[in-house]
Structure 1
Amino acid sequence: MLDYAALAALAAVVREGSFERAAGALGVTPSAVSQRVRALEERMGAILVVRGQPCTATPVGARLCAHVEHVRLLEGEMASALPGLAELLPAAGPPTIRVAVNADSLATWLVPAMAAFARRGDRLVDLVVAGEDHTAERLRSGDVLAAVTTDRTPVQGCRTVPLGALRYVATASPDFMARWFAHGVDTAALARAPMLRFDRQDHLQERWMATLGTVPETLASRAPTHWLPSTNAFVDAALAGLGWCMNPLPMVAGYLAAGRLVSLMDQRFLNVPLYWQHVRIGTRLLDALTREVVAAARDSLLR
């Protein structure tokens, strides 16, 4: 039989990032949290938390944390259906739905869906940012209950819903275009012009260059690159002339219309299909969240 007090301590350490903050969240001492986690590790015969700044879960620890969140979700749904049960459950607060999402969706269309879902005040969201090609991995590991992803293949035990496509456009400031692309956007110019990338998992720029058909696949790895891990900073950097980059069209349409940004190549867009995946348990809350996500996507993404 699993010790759910110890599991709650483990989940709190991983969620909060330290034993001290986990103790504050649980209303116990750091020593108590440490003892519970250590006892659970001894019982499981495995290290569950990598002690550090922040503390992170091992693969076994992540699976146990996911189990805790699944149980809390199911208990929350049962308490809603059976009010008398609420008094028997631990006072852990509203259930929290942990969702993996790419930064561009978070910056453009997803927040209204989260707000609509949480409006009643009886549920919370915990958004984890990851590259759109990697959010499904967070779902597969059990770290999250749902994800916005480019992966259309359902993760085992999950449901997949197509959302539409987020359209990207390659942009730069007029001054940057005049300086680096005065003779056109070709392989030689792209090899010299500074490029902006979000992180090492960001491949949107090279995917766009691949649509040109004449650019070597290795060009993106050799081009001078600025690294900016912020969707809003991408827009600001493009406006300031730091480099060229791929921006979600909804974020830059106004700047393009005003002439403050220009497209590297007119009508050469990159459409990235997105999917919503969520675990099949806890259907009431996850179905409610899915309805809001699909509605927001319908209003914002290409169909």
Structure 2
Amino acid sequence: MLDIEQLKALHAAVDEGTFDAAARKLHVTPSAISQRIKALEVSVGRVLVQRTKPIRVTDSGREVLRLARQIDALTQDVVRELGLGDADGAMARISIAVNADSLSTWVLRVLASFTTEVSFDFHLDDQDHTTELLRDGSVMAAITSVATPIQGCTSSLLGIMRYRPMASASFCERWFSDGVTAEALSKAPVVVFNRKDLLQDRYLGRKVGLLVDPPRHFVPATADFADAVRLGYGWGLLPDLQSLETPGTLVGFDPEYVDDVPLYWQQWKLSSPILARISLAVAARANELLHQLSP
């Protein structure tokens, strides 16, 4: 049987980054945090954290940390349902992994109505990688392109985020005046979100059919990415939800090409009323905004 206070100590130490900060959060001494985590490690027979600054959870510690976070989430739910209040005056804390395009174009608006009762902790990552944060217990839910549910989670389709190759009119006139040819695509600068962003390379692979490496501008912020394309830094694939907001400032230079990225909502299998309400709100809004699969 795992000790609740020891699990709390692990949770706080990883979230806060140091034993001192965890001690302040739990109103105990740093020595007490250290002793509880050591006792927990003895109980499970594994090293759970690396005592660095900040503290890092080990592979074995991830499973225990996920349990600690699930227990904390359920405890918060019970406190709210019984109207007992929170001793620290804190709101429920919900951690969600989400891709940057979804966060900036629709997710923030959806969840704004919950901000009087929920403190959100958003973790940004590419939609192909957000499940890693779910797997290691860093988040309670994730918007992901991975359909297969992570162990201990449920998965449901939200819809499709549709991307199209876009550029400014002046950029197209300069680089694609003779058409979107293999030669043009091998030389025309491209805007890329980060090193995990494969949308542009996927387009190049399908259109050119060989390895090309045009000049790249890395712009790791969704709004700034779109601005860089509008300003003529290069071409890039933009979601319809973003490019259609300002018609006339961008040109779809290859209208026959679309890249449909399916998005799924994965979350812990918890009987949590607040998480269930968030899930329903996200699904409802996604159904309104995202492209839906044909039956």
Task: Confirm or deny a common fold (TM above 0.5).
Answer: yes
Aligned to 1:246: 237
Aligned to 1:96: 93
1:116 aligned to 2:110?
no
- Shift in CA distance, 247/79, structure 1 to aligned 2, threshold 3 Å: same
Aligned to 1:145: 140
Structure 1 unpaired stretches of 5+: none
Candidates 177, 183, 199, aligned match of 1:182: 177
Question: How far is the alpha carbon of 1:234 from its aligned partner?
Answer: 0.4
Q: Bigger shift: 26-35 or 290-299?
A: 26-35
Q: Distance in 2 between matches of 1:265 and 1:247?
A: 12
Question: How far is the alpha carbon of 1:32 from its aligned partner?
Answer: 4.3
Alignment check: 8 A CA contact 1:49 1:58 kept: yes
- Shift in CA distance, 35/181, structure 1 to aligned 2, threshold 3 Å: farther
Alignment check: 8 A CA contact 1:73 1:282 kept: no
- Shift in CA distance, 194/13, structure 1 to aligned 2, threshold 3 Å: farther
1:203 aligned to 2:198?
yes
Alignment check: 8 A CA contact 1:95 1:124 kept: yes
Paired residues, what number? 292
Alignment check: 8 A CA contact 1:17 1:55 kept: yes
1:106 aligned to 2:99?
no
SS at match of 1:8: helix
Q: Distance in 1 between matches of 2:3 and 2:29?
A: 18
Question: How far is the alpha carbon of 1:146 from its aligned partner?
Answer: 1.1
**Under a length normalisation based on structure 2, what TM-score does the superposition of the two structures give?**
0.87
Structure 2 unpaired stretches of 5+: none
Aligned to 2:289: 300
AA at the equivalent of 1:190: L
Question: How far is the alpha carbon of 1:106 from its aligned partner?
Answer: 0.4
Q: Percent identity?
A: 38
Alignment check: 8 A CA contact 2:73 2:272 kept: no
Aligned to 2:228: 237
Aligned to 1:164: 159
Deviations 1:49-70 (A, max 9, x none): 3344543321222222211111
Alignment check: 8 A CA contact 1:113 1:295 kept: no
Q: Bigger shift: 230-239 or 28-37?
A: 28-37
**Under a length normalisation based on structure 1, what TM-score does the superposition of the two structures give?**
0.85
AA at the equivalent of 1:127: F
Q: Distance in 2 between matches of 1:158 and 1:275?
A: 12
- Shift in CA distance, 228/29, structure 1 to aligned 2, threshold 3 Å: farther
Question: How far is the alpha carbon of 1:195 from its aligned partner?
Answer: 1.5
Aligned to 1:62: 62
SS at match of 1:164: strand
* 1:10-159 equivalences in 2 (<5 Å): 10-83=10-83, 86=84, 93-119=90-116, 121=117, 123-159=118-154
* 1:222-301 equivalences in 2 (<5 Å): 222-255=213-246, 257-258=247-248, 260-301=249-290
1:216 aligned to 2:209?
yes
- Shift in CA distance, 140/12, structure 1 to aligned 2, threshold 3 Å: same
**Aligned CA-pair RMSD:** 2.5
Question: How far is the alpha carbon of 1:180 from its aligned partner?
Answer: 2.2
